[in-house]
Structure 1
Amino acid sequence: MTVKSLLLAGGTLLVGAQAASASGFQVNLGGQKNNGMGGVGVGLSLDQAAMFYNPGALAMVRENGVQLGANFALARVSFRSADGGPQRELEDQPIVYPFNFYASFGPKDGNFRAGLAVYTPYGSSLSYGSSWEGRYSLTEITLRSVYVQPTASYAITPTLSVGAGLTILVGGSVNLQRDLPLPTGDGHIELDGKAKTKFGYNAGIFFKPSDKLSVGVSYRSKINAQVENGDVTLSGLPTAGGASAPVTAQFTATSFGATLPLPALASIGIGIMPTDKLTVGLDASLTFWSDYRNLDFTFSGNNGNAGPSTDANSGLVGNRTFSSSKRSYQDALTFRLGGQYELDEKLTVRAGAALDLTAVKDGYVTPETPDADRTILTAGLSYNLSENFGIDASYQFNSFKERSQTQQDLLDNGTADRVAGTYKTNIHIPGIGLHYKF
């Protein structure tokens, strides 16, 4: 049997489960005000969302407050096969709903602030359907995750503050589906897994030497994401017995496990306040994706190779109960620029832009991560309904550079477990939020 089946499916699952903190499935939607300003925030102390961007800045947010926000991410994915034909949109994509909640408390004139953040930094949903050329690599993927971050921040001096938060993955799930090209007709596989609770940290330093300038640095630690006893569900397999028995015997796995390094992220940001009404921010981030070299999986039973083998890439997913898929990611930079202007005491408007460089090398693009260098344009506003209560709105447009790979590229890199062709992706992300200060 030479058909591949579970290897890429397993790779898709964990790539989605990580939903990286840089390119790929990055969700940099920590706060509605920041979203409207190109995603800047490391060098600013706008509000309680500082817990996400730079915990060190929280102590400089003098007002206690609570805020809640939600975003609505809709991806548009097009694909053109390397075998030719027109580039076409791949069905209607589902909407993903990242959200965030922040609350901070502390003495009004004190140097200490404590807070709690709940957010969904990793979330994605793509649907390719069963008619596209790469249906044997992927038909659907859905990812959900929830992070909780208790945070503390202290102002050492009136101009210098530090802070740190414990990042906790308290809930994560992913569902992946793909077709199987069996000799007896197409089958179907579904992988469903839940991530274990894992811990990391998010720390930062914030320095504001004057009313016109602020600087911040932050570091988010590497976390090893782990899935154990994920479910493997197969359908459309031939009835056992007779000529179909050898095919059926190759699929006995009912569960899988895998571990994936989620890379560290280092960021620096600058805030400039030329006037009391205008604020400008500039951020630069580096994600250490080079830790992500291979993706290895273990399975509870046969996974498409009924015969003995010592080749981890043989059969459908490798040597009976093990598979390995190359990733060979590279460290990736992101640059963000944005600003806000207070038109009056009730209305503030925002705009921004970002350049997010891909971590995926040529010849390594996968359907679950049709990643490429992307340009991001944003806009937003806040309207204060009262002295303490207001509404925040934002919009982001992500335009991915067209990304192509040939079958020869895949053969040269040893990545023939994915699809040759050209991808083009756009993402629209409107958002809405409420804030209350006290």
Structure 2
Amino acid sequence: MQASHRISRLTALALGIAGVISVGSAGATGFQIRENSVKNQGRAFAGSATAKNDAAVVTNNPAAMVNLDSLTIRGDVTVIDLTAKFRGGGSAAAGTLLARPLTGGNGGDPGDAQPVPALSIVMPLSGAFEKLTLGAQLNAPFGLKTEYDRDWVGRYHAVESEVKTIDLTFSAGLALTDRFSVGAGLVWERAEATLTNAVDFGSAICRVSIAACTTPNPVAAPFGPQKNDGYAKVKGDDYGLGWIVGLQWKPTDKFSIGYSHRSEIDHELEGNIEFTKPANVSALLAARGITQYNSGPGGAKLTTPSVDTLSLQYEFTDQFRMMFDAQQTDWHSLKSVDIVRANGTPITSEPFEWEDTMMYALGAEYDLSDAITLRGGIALDETPTNDHHRTPRLPDNDRTLYSLGLTWNANEHLSVDAAYTRIEIDSPKIDVVSSSGSRLTGTYKGHADLFGIAAQYKF
């Protein structure tokens, strides 16, 4: 095996671009974000595919757009505030004679408050096209940001992880009868990622030249674990196309059933990796002709998962109704991420072994008066990752959501929504090895708070 390959099983490019799919979203497990409607949030996201007075159905279920009888514009903003704390440690150059305890703190709180906006418009047609309703929405269905202290104990695994997806969806809904409608839409998605982590070049050099780490002795040697830290930064972006279909059936005046399917969207992330190396590391690598840590272009394939949603709604009285959602997210598309250079040369395959997940939500609404509607809900959301493949970029686990919300109907045209969600996250465990051979073990404790506000105007 060539020396350039012996330096590291994974390059920082692998860690960075593969990290695109492992940025924890506080709004949902994996890196999914469901917060495109504050009304849905107030019900713990139950009833998303059967909503009757919510323009966000453009992407939640285009068939339900027929529930709106006039031009409607809606704007939503939800602030997601993740709080997490790591406790643990590990060793650099794990499994070797040069192994040393990892230095550094717990990383601080990796989650900052992040706003997630959405803008929707629904336009029912008239005349010969009165059964047809058109709609558009701009939203962010995947991604968030986490950032640790640069000198934390897990710096070789992750420091900054920021992923943004922006979707522009155009949908159409058709009322085939008074009780049955269908819908479909086209989704244009932009994905952008910025990932950083420290690189333990000292441990990497030891694999090439053990003498550099033991002469005159391991303590005084010029190279060694945690002695020669560098930094890697990866940025990449891409555009992709997907689609959504849905249906809505009302067996009775009080009972509604909605179903929607959002497709996978494939991305070919293209960008650059920048290495910052200590001078003595650069000199040694150049002398040996090792180019694996040179800055340059690279990329990876990324597929955002398909999502299937089934919603049920029953109106017990004119004032009180309950909703239920079962949603499956097909994370199996993320079994691994294959990293390649710009010329197509494969570098590594980063395993994730994610599994499909289910989210179950139960919500209710009560019209306190013509002006005020109260709502609440609870949801259980499974994680796609597991104890064997969980990384600090995604310290994710199963979650329980508790939501409260309300709507104020200011007049027949304008309504204002507000919601609060508390997300309790089961404590996840970490036991992973970085590209430079450091092993990180420990546990996380965390939760998230979601604050949403929205306004909707019907012309």
Do these two structures clear the TM 0.5 threshold for a shared fold by scoring above it?
yes
2:172 to 137, 152, 160: 152
2:184 to 164, 170, 185: 164
Does residue 1:431 correspond to 2:452, yes or no?
yes
- Contact (CA 8 Å) 1:225, 1:259: kept in 2 or not? yes
Paired residues for 1:309-324 under 5 Å: 322-324=347-349
Q: Deviations over 1:344-369 (max 9, x none)?
A: 11111111111001111221101221
1:235 to 276, 291, 294: 276
- Contact (CA 8 Å) 2:395, 2:430: kept in 1 or not? no
Q: Which runs of 5+ in 1 are unaligned?
A: 302-318
Q: Deviations over 1:85-140 (max 9, x none)?
A: 9x957236322211111111124693221111111112301011123221001001
Cross-structure match for 2:326: 284
Does residue 1:391 correspond to 2:416, yes or no?
yes
Q: Residue 244 of structure 2 aligns to which amino acid in structure 1? A: N
Q: Residue 373 of structure 1 aligns to which amino acid in structure 2? A: D
1:177 to 192, 196, 214: 196
Aligned-residue offset at 1:13: 2.3
Does residue 1:348 correspond to 2:373, yes or no?
yes
In the superposition, relative to structure 1, how do residues 242 and 78 fare at CA in structure 2: closer, same or farther (>3 Å)? closer
- Contact (CA 8 Å) 2:11, 2:293: kept in 1 or not? no
Q: Residue 33 of structure 1 aligns to which amino acid in structure 2? A: K
- Contact (CA 8 Å) 1:82, 1:406: kept in 2 or not? no
Q: Residue 392 of structure 1 aligns to which amino acid in structure 2? A: D
Write the distance in 2 (CA, Å) between the matches of 1:174 and 1:131: 22
Cross-structure match for 1:23: 29
Q: Residue 123 of structure 2 aligns to which amino acid in structure 1? A: F
Q: Deviations over 1:239-283 (max 9, x none)?
A: 677545349744124111111222221121100111111121100
Any idea what SS the aligned residue of 2:424 has?
A: strand
Any idea what SS the aligned residue of 2:328 has?
A: strand
Q: Residue 188 of structure 2 aligns to which amino acid in structure 1? A: I
Cross-structure match for 1:9: 16
Aligned-residue offset at 1:5: 4.3
Cross-structure match for 1:38: 44
In the superposition, relative to structure 1, how do residues 39 and 247 fare at CA in structure 2: closer, same or farther (>3 Å)? farther
Any idea what SS the aligned residue of 1:46 has?
A: coil
Write the distance in 2 (CA, Å) between the matches of 1:322 and 1:27: 31
Q: Residue 199 of structure 1 aligns to which amino acid in structure 2? A: L
Any idea what SS the aligned residue of 2:158 has?
A: coil
Q: Percent identity?
A: 25
Write the distance in 1 (CA, Å) between the matches of 2:292 and 2:136: 49
Q: Residue 398 of structure 1 aligns to which amino acid in structure 2? A: I
In the superposition, relative to structure 1, how do residues 98 and 386 fare at CA in structure 2: closer, same or farther (>3 Å)? same
Write the distance in 2 (CA, Å) between the matches of 1:20 and 1:128: 16
Aligned-residue offset at 1:38: 0.5
Q: Residue 231 of structure 2 aligns to which amino acid in structure 1? A: H
Any idea what SS the aligned residue of 2:50 has?
A: coil
Q: Residue 231 of structure 1 aligns to which amino acid in structure 2? A: N
In the superposition, relative to structure 1, how do residues 240 and 129 fare at CA in structure 2: closer, same or farther (>3 Å)? closer
Aligned-residue offset at 1:163: 0.5
Cross-structure match for 2:399: 374
Aligned-residue offset at 1:43: 3.2
Q: Residue 322 of structure 1 aligns to which amino acid in structure 2? A: I
Aligned-residue offset at 1:320: 7.8
Paired residues for 1:16-415 under 5 Å: 16=23, 23-40=29-46, 41-81=48-88, 83=90, 90-91=108-109, 93-107=111-125, 110-169=130-189, 171-183=190-202, 185-195=228-238, 197-228=239-270, 230-238=271-279, 242-243=283-284, 245=286, 246=288, 249-300=291-342, 322-406=347-431
Q: Deviations over 1:144-184 (max 9, x none)?
A: 22111111001110010110111111x33211111111125
- Contact (CA 8 Å) 1:77, 1:89: kept in 2 or not? no
Any idea what SS the aligned residue of 2:182 has?
A: strand
In the superposition, relative to structure 1, how do residues 325 and 37 fare at CA in structure 2: closer, same or farther (>3 Å)? same
In the superposition, relative to structure 1, how do residues 66 and 128 fare at CA in structure 2: closer, same or farther (>3 Å)? same
Q: Residue 304 of structure 2 aligns to which amino acid in structure 1? A: L
Write the distance in 2 (CA, Å) between the matches of 1:108 and 1:347: 31
- Contact (CA 8 Å) 1:60, 1:155: kept in 2 or not? no
Q: Deviations over 1:29-54 (max 9, x none)?
A: 12111111111212333321111211
- Contact (CA 8 Å) 2:377, 2:404: kept in 1 or not? yes
Write the distance in 1 (CA, Å) between the matches of 2:123 and 2:417: 21
Aligned-residue offset at 1:339: 1.4
Cross-structure match for 1:314: none
- Contact (CA 8 Å) 2:50, 2:311: kept in 1 or not? yes
In the superposition, relative to structure 1, how do residues 321 and 22 fare at CA in structure 2: closer, same or farther (>3 Å)? same
- Contact (CA 8 Å) 2:168, 2:187: kept in 1 or not? yes
Q: Residue 278 of structure 2 aligns to which amino acid in structure 1? A: L
Q: Rg larger in 1 or in 2?
A: 2
Any idea what SS the aligned residue of 2:165 has?
A: strand
In the superposition, relative to structure 1, how do residues 242 and 82 fare at CA in structure 2: closer, same or farther (>3 Å)? closer
Aligned-residue offset at 1:331: 1.3
Write the distance in 2 (CA, Å) between the matches of 1:338 and 1:417: 45
Q: Residue 99 of structure 1 aligns to which amino acid in structure 2? A: P
- Contact (CA 8 Å) 2:338, 2:346: kept in 1 or not? no
Write the distance in 2 (CA, Å) between the matches of 1:75 and 1:247: 44
Aligned-residue offset at 1:22: 6.6
Q: Residue 229 of structure 2 aligns to which amino acid in structure 1? A: D
Any idea what SS the aligned residue of 1:209 has?
A: coil
Q: Residue 182 of structure 1 aligns to which amino acid in structure 2? A: F
- Contact (CA 8 Å) 2:387, 2:431: kept in 1 or not? no
In the superposition, relative to structure 1, how do residues 19 and 221 fare at CA in structure 2: closer, same or farther (>3 Å)? farther
Write the distance in 1 (CA, Å) between the matches of 2:376 and 2:157: 38
- Contact (CA 8 Å) 1:21, 1:263: kept in 2 or not? no
